[in-house]
Amino acid sequence: MEEDIRRIGIMGGTFDPIHHGHLVAASEVADRFGLDEVIFVPTGQPWQKADVPVSSAEDRYLMTVIATASNPRFQVSRVDIDRGGPTYTVDTLRDLRSQYGTKAQLFFITGADALERILSWKNLDEIFELAHFIGVTRPGFQLTAAHLPADTVSLVQVPAMAISSTDCRARVARGEPVWYLVPDGVVQYIAKRRLYR
Ligand code: ATP
Ligand code: MG
């Protein structure tokens, strides 16, 4: 029956905007772990993130759709956006678990910085029961296995891409290019909607 189980990656993020660091991480993990699909899940609307306003959920959702449209294994879910309020990973995992049922094995893909934060949460036991966690390297963030429960968290090296959404927004604000840091369609969407000015 093992072959009936779908292996599903979940990549949560603010995606303001989605960039090639996100896409390379998802692609690399999908390859290494033999995932059938990766679902990108833009977060619900936070008030702000590190003191800067966050673009609307619809803009972030559409950029995520544009960026992933050409890859048949990449999907986008609205669960966190439609639930509303700040996103807690345990809610994301519960919702996707009930959507996909027991025929799916969930792999939560997260960068080194985000993994550090997740490991400090409560509900950790439930979270680890819902999904296997995959921490990916991210330039500037140390990822050490020392304190990680090996049976629930795997670490993966992805090709270093020193791209962050914060830097992309700052570039747009300064009138500098983001070509090749984000997918072409996202460059055009940012210009069309005049985001980050
Ligand atoms: P911001 O600068 O606004 O925080 P971000 O670039 O960190 O944006 P997020 O939407 O916060 O992007 O990240 C979503 C997930 O992708 C997180 O788990 C984060 O660690 C991971 N991630 C982001 N950028 C990279 C990258 N360049 N390489 C690997 N993982 C990344
Ligand atoms: Mg971030």
Condensed to tens digits (0 to 9), the pLDDT of residues 151-197 reads 788 999 999 899 999 999 999 999 999 999 999 999 999 999 999 99
Q: 59, 169 in Cβ contact below 8 A?
A: no
Tell me which range, 30-34, 46-50, 114-118, is most confidently predicted by mean pLDDT: 30-34
Spell out the domains of the chain, with CATH numbers in brackets.
Answer: 2-162 (3.40.50.620)
Q: If you average pLDDT over every residue of the chain, what do you get? A: 92
Ligand 1 test: best mutation among 19, 52, 164, 167, most atoms within 8 Å of CB? 164
Predicted local confidence at residue 124, as pLDDT: 86
Q: Name the closest ligand to CA 112.
A: 1
In this predicted model, what pLDDT tens digit does every residue of 100-142 receive, in sequence order? 998 999 999 999 888 888 877 778 889 999 999 999 988 888 7
Instruction: Identify the residue whose C-alpha is closest to ligand 1 atom 23.
Output: 22
Spacing, Cα 160 to ligand 1 middle (Å): 12
Predicted local confidence at residue 147, as pLDDT: 67
Ligand 1 shell residues, CB under 6 Å: 13-16, 21-22, 25, 49, 110-111, 113-114, 136, 138, 158, 161, 163-166
Q: 9, 35 in Cβ contact below 8 A?
A: yes
What ipTM was assigned to the predicted interfaces of this complex? 0.99
* Residue 25 pLDDT level (bands cut at 50, 70, 90): very high
Q: Name the closest ligand to CA 140.
A: 1
